[in-house]
Amino acid sequence: MSEKVIKESQPRVHYDCTKCLAFCCSIYERVAVTKRDITRLGKHFGVSAAEAKRRYTTDRDGERVLKRVKDVVFEETCAFLDQKTRGCTIYHGRPEVCRSYPGRSRCAYYDVLRFERTQQDDENVVPQVKIIFREDEAEA
């Protein structure tokens, strides 16, 4: 979840969002937003928080989340992902959860991507990662 720029002040990390397809913006069905996130979104777009909430978020099982759209790489992705560059189009207005992700020095999805591309000796390979919950599996 990056603007594709690693700032000097950030701690050293072992992943490179500029070389990633934004698994984090795509494979999680919910990108939760708080009131503060919605206010920030509104400021970013120059609209009221109420308008930002209506335009850019939706209710998913009682949780307020960013809207999603069909994706060219994964099944769906965040409505704010640039599907060509795979970068965030609202970097300075993005929610807190995006700012803190992955919250450690490694990104597991980046590791999988690198592993598979090395394994296949092909820089075009994209592992199709999907998160499911066992309850959903049992219901299917």
Binding positions for ligand SF4, rule: CB under 6 A: 1-2, 15, 17, 20, 22-25, 31, 66, 78, 80-81, 88, 90, 94, 98, 101-102, 107, 109-110
Nearer to ligand SF4, 43 or 139 (CB): 43
How far apart are alpha carbons 74 and 52 in whole angstroms?
26
**How far apart are CB 111 and ligand SF4 at their closest, in Å?**
9
Measured in whole angstroms, how far is the alpha carbon of residue 134 from the centre of its chain?
A: 22
Shortest CB 37 distance to ligand SF4, Å: 9
Nearer to ligand SF4 among residue 22 and residue 38 (C-beta): 22
- How far apart are CB 138 and ligand SF4 at their closest, in Å? 28
Residue 49 CA to chain centroid, in angstroms? 21
User: Is the Cβ of residue 51 or residue 79 nearer to ligand SF4 in the bound state?
Assistant: 79
Report the C-alpha gap between 30 and 121 in whole angstroms: 33
CA distance 7 to 12: 10
DSSP E strands: which ranges in the chain?
57-60, 63-66, 68-70, 76-78
Structure-block tokens of residue 84: 């060509």
Least distance from C-beta 39 to ligand SF4, angstroms?
15
Task: Rank residues 20 and 38 by Cβ distance to ligand SF4 and give the closer one.
Answer: 20
